[in-house]
Chain A
Amino acid sequence: MYGHSHSGIGAIVLTLVAGAKGGIGYLVKVIAHAQH
């Protein structure tokens, strides 16, 4: 809990937000790469 692990509803929210942000970032990179 010192920053190495989370658990609970908040942890699920954090995972979803981070996953979405990471996923969008990855898509942006892929699209940018395809355009070049």
Chain B
Amino acid sequence: MKISVLIPAHNEADVLRECLDAVLRQTLPVDEIVVVADSCTDDTTEIAKQSGALVVETEQGGKAASQDAGLPYVTGDILVCIDADTIIDADVVEKFVAELERGADATCANMLPMPQQTGFWVANRRYAYALGRFWWRWCQAEVGRLMVLSGCAYALRTETVRSIGGFPGKLITCDMDLTWSLYEAGRKTTFCHTALAYTYDPETFTVYTKQMRRWASGFFQNFQRHKLAVVKSPAAILVVGSLLFDLLMMPVTYAFAILWMIRDPWTLEWLAISIAIHWVISFAIVTRTITWRQAIVGFPCYWVANWWNKAIYLWTFTREWILGRHYVSWTGRQGRATLIAPMSRARKIGLISVAAAAALADATWHAAAAEISLPDTAILVLAIAGAAAVALSFFCMPRYLTFSAFLCIGGVGGLELNRVPAAAGWLLFWCLALVALTIGLVGAVLAYLGDEAQIEYQRGAAFAGSTAPLF
């Protein structure tokens, strides 16, 4: 059985040598290494050649496209795919091959941050990966539906990837797209938890947030693309559905918890107890992979970062599914252009119409209940409907404008709910409505200009995403 290693690389000269050294140190020697040098302007090609790799030079602008460019040069039966910034343990290929020989079509390693990496975000990630190894990913594997084959180190039969038409690369997270495409094709994927791969994880808030935005976008894009296959599979419903359910229920759950806490401060005790239980259970699990010190440092980082992750996922859910603004090109360590597709005109009109209609119905109902005079009712209805409509137009605006609109709408809504008939209340109401409408008008102009600017940016970018619709 011939083993090939495929490594896509874009300006990876700083890290590629240690990646290739790890491949060459394997207990089960590999037969060929194919490095796809994608638009490289550094020494990536020379370093790969020095290690005896076959180098395919291309200008693809993406990981999956690069892998696809390298696929015709692969002659092995088993294909091990590794990221250029990843180091695999010496026995990883041997464990991958054993897993595939047991009947799997694809398998993947467990990731960990590079041992020398430190800091809040790395400590969080180290804890999360260690916890996933013997809990969450174990659960996924046990029910028969891995969420994702870790993109930094996985293996599959070459025939398997060729049978699905190569590496799918249209979505922002190609590794998840590959995993879900394999399930759709009836292929079996497994998690090889004994195989460990070390990768460079984000060390700063900015880079971490960018990565999480991409991962979150990839999750929602994949769900959208593979939704039929997901609903047909009980295992997929359990794994993917539980994650989605927990995400959407989170604001409700925590709003309920906060209200309960306000009513009864002793609820804080329960919160502390639940955190302690979580800590004890997860600590017992993660210390099978990382040191006690790393676990003690990692838990608070993991706990805090989890909140940030959920906020990113909730916002991404809104952007990807409700606003239809897809993340189509991403920035990696090499500074590729980030692109989020603008909202389509039809969707803008649709959303604004729905919001305006809802606000209209709501305002009419409240006005009727409060027995306000007919002219006042008409003005109230128009003001609230207009404010709600323009606020929604801010979804394609810079965030500070969105927040401003929400504040205005919140103010209007609050006054409406309280039904303040006093002169001061009405004055405040009109001021807020006026501010909302003014921001809305400015926002509408900026929205138009903003969309155009994004398209121009895409045209001028070195690594532009496709302008074709994703779905």
Contact = CB atoms under 8 A, between A and B. Distances in A.
A17 interface: yes
- Which among B140, B215, B242 has the greatest number of chain A C-beta atoms within 10 A? B242
Contact of B137 (A1, A4, A13, A19): A4
Contact of A4 (B131, B173, B242): B131
Nearest to A13: B242
Contacts of B28: none
A9 B245 contact: yes
Contacts of A28: none
B219 interface: yes
B143 A17 contact: yes
Interface of chain A, main secondary structure: helix
**B135, B142, B148, B239 pick with most chain A CB within 10 angstroms:** B142
Given A2-B215, A18-B139, A11 B246 contact: yes
A21 B131 CA distance: 20
Q: How large is the interface on B (under 10, 10 to 19, 20 to 34, 35 or more residues)?
A: 35 or more
A interface, size bucket: 10 to 19
Contacts of A4: 128-129, 131-132, 136-137
Interface string B149-179: 0000000000000000000000001001000
B243 A1 contact: yes
Interface string A1-33: 111111111110111011101100000000000
B327 interface: no
A9 B132 CA distance: 17
Contacts of A18: 138-140, 142-143
B132 A10 contact: no
22 contacts: A1-B309, A1-B310, A2-B173, A2-B176, A3-B136, A4-B131, A4-B137, A5-B306, A6-B139, A6-B243, A8-B245, A8-B246, A8-B247, A9-B245, A9-B246, A10-B249, A11-B243, A17-B139, A17-B238, A18-B140, A18-B143, A21-B143
Interface of A: 1-11, 13-15, 17-19, 21-22
